[in-house]
Amino acid sequence: MMQIYADNAATTKMSKAAIDAMLPYLDTIYGNPSSLHSIGQEANEALSKARERIAKLLGCEAGEITFTSGGSEADNQAIVSAARIGEKRGRKHIISTAFEHHAVLHTLNKLEKEGFTVTLLDVHSNGMVTAEQVEKAIRQDTCLVTIMYANNEIGSVQPIKEIGEICKQHGIIFHTDAVQAAGHLHINVNEQNIAMLSLSAHKFHGPKGVGVLYARKGIALTNLIEGGAQEHGKRSGTENIPAIMGMAAAFEEACANIDSNSEKLIRMRDRLIEGLSEIPHSVLNGDRYSRLPSNVHFCFEGIEGESLLLLLNDKGICASSGSACTSGSLDPSHVLLAIGRPHEIAHGSLRLTLSEENTDEEVAYIIESVKGVVEYLRSISPIWNDMCSGRKSFV
Ligand SMILES: *Cc1c(COP(=O)(O)O)cnc(C)c1O
């Protein structure tokens, strides 16, 4: 049976370049970069080079890069650090949005319990927030604005540069969770007025368990992990050299191919959107144009997302109902609720996230399969039956 992977927002397959870049550091150059002997020093040199290579791709300096265990840790450390800086100056107000990743939202919840005030901006029904909304929410005591670059569920891409500009004018730290954007959209932290940024290797064909926190020079980081003072003393623990090497290689490859990959992805994405829009009582989530080239996200009335996923899996299609982190819970996605989708329709969600390895043939098969499965599920759905007979109204 055909096996189609369309869940690249959850994680990606490692690229050959990334695997090849890791192997020597598992096998021969396995030293601890803090050791003074040659095997250690060789690893240390590779670490410095990797830091420079990644800095170059973000448009920053090597000293502004801290390696972390992934996007979640980078988000946590960015937000806690900015909060501690604000606190020292008597500023304990933070601006964010209702549709951030839980790594951001749960860190903000923790700070609220400590006495910080958090304003979560309303997200428009197209999955966007505006720089004007950010400006209106700014107070005398605002210390941090944290807004994601691209949403991991519905794929909407935010006006990061404009938001950064507002923050710069007001002297407020701007952090962006760029985990879905890195390697897929162009990033330049200076041009885009970004003071802090998180990324994660496994979302761009690198290994899992490694990421980056960029923090502009002068922003003091707060340690989340104490120990041997690695990473300029800001993130202890022996560096995960193989993973860092894999991340550097994957990031270079992804950034070099952004334009050609995007072109291919947008063509496949738009075909999928067109095809699935033909399903009656379906709605596309996220902005039609300001969206990740890889992301397709629909809600279908009258069905359960879980059943849809299981039946698609039987047809060899790996998809998601939204965030990998909330699957298994019966609550509808906080992202869909944030954009104003009612509970009834938020349950029937489907996220298809492509990679450049997908093909037109697979796209055609996905469209045909989703159409068939939605039709079947509706044929056995009491709610759908009630809607069709007028006992219950369509959303
Ligand atoms: C995947 C993801 C994260 C978490 O990254 P990990 O490396 O898995 O910890 C954070 N934010 C967004 C937007 C993501 O998509």
Percent of all residues in the chain with a pLDDT value above 70, rounded to a whole number: 98
Q: How far does the centroid of ligand 1 lie from the alpha carbon of residue 280, in Å?
A: 33
pLDDT band at 322, cuts 50/70/90?
Answer: confident
**14 HSE (CA, 13 A, CB side):** 20
Buried-state track 94-108, b at ≥16 Cβ within 10 A, e below 16:
bbbbebbbebbbebb
Residue 177: CB within 6 Å of ligand 1?
Answer: yes
Of 200, 224, 325, the residue with max ligand 1 atoms within 8 A of its CB, to mutate for a pocket test, comes to: 200
Residue 275 C-alpha from the chain's centroid = 26
pLDDT higher than threshold 70 for residue 373: yes
Higher model confidence: residue 327 or residue 346? 346
Residue partners of 220: CB distance under 8 A and separation at least 6 = 81, 84, 85
Write b or e for each residue in 269-279: b if 16 or more Cβ atoms lie within 10 A of its Cβ, otherwise e: bebbbebbeeb
Angstrom distance (rounded) from CA 15 to CA 254: 10
Residue 146 Cβ < 6 Å to ligand 1: no
Question: What's the CA-to-centroid distance between 177 and ligand 1, angstroms?
Answer: 8
71 lines ligand 1 (CB under 6 A): yes
Task: Give pTM, 2 decimals.
Answer: 0.96
Residue nearest atom 10 of ligand 1, based on CA coordinates: 71
Mutate to test the pocket of ligand 1, among 73, 152, 325, 335 (most ligand atoms within 8 A of CB): 152
For a substitution probing ligand 1, which of 12, 72, 156, 244 has the most ligand atoms within 8 Å of its CB?
Answer: 72
Question: Rounded to whole angstroms, how far apart are CA atoms 344 and 34?
Answer: 55
Nearest alpha-carbon partner for 131 in 108, 165, 95: 165
325 is a catalytic site residue: yes
Give burial (CB, 10 Å; 0-12/13-18/19+) of 216.
middle
pLDDT of residue 248: 98
Q: How confident is the model at residue 70 (pLDDT cuts 50, 70, 90)?
A: very high
Place 329 in a pLDDT band, splitting at 50, 70 and 90: low
Average pLDDT (12-21) is 98
Is the Cβ atom of 155 under 6 angstroms away from ligand 1? no
Q: 213-260, pLDDT tens digit by residue?
A: 999 999 999 999 999 989 998 999 999 999 999 999 999 999 999 999
Residue 356 has pLDDT above 80, yes or no: yes
Cα distance between residue 195 and residue 298, in whole Å? 33
Helices (H), 7-159: 16-27, 38-58, 71-88, 102-113, 131-137
**Residues 165-220 pLDDT 10s:** 999 999 999 999 999 999 999 999 999 999 999 999 999 999 999 999 999 999 99
pLDDT for residue 328: 52
Ligand 1 atom, smallest distance to 103 CA? 10
Is the pLDDT at 51 greater than 60, yes or no? Answer: yes
300 has pLDDT over 80: yes
- For residue 71, the CA-to-ligand 1 centroid distance in Å is 5
Question: What does the pLDDT read at residue 256?
Answer: 98
Residue 2's pLDDT is 80
| Confidence (pLDDT) at 279 | 97
Q: Ligand 1, residue 202: give the atom nearest the CA.
A: 7
Check residue 170 and give its pLDDT. Answer: 98
Residue 271 is encoded by which pair of tokens? Answer: 């075909």
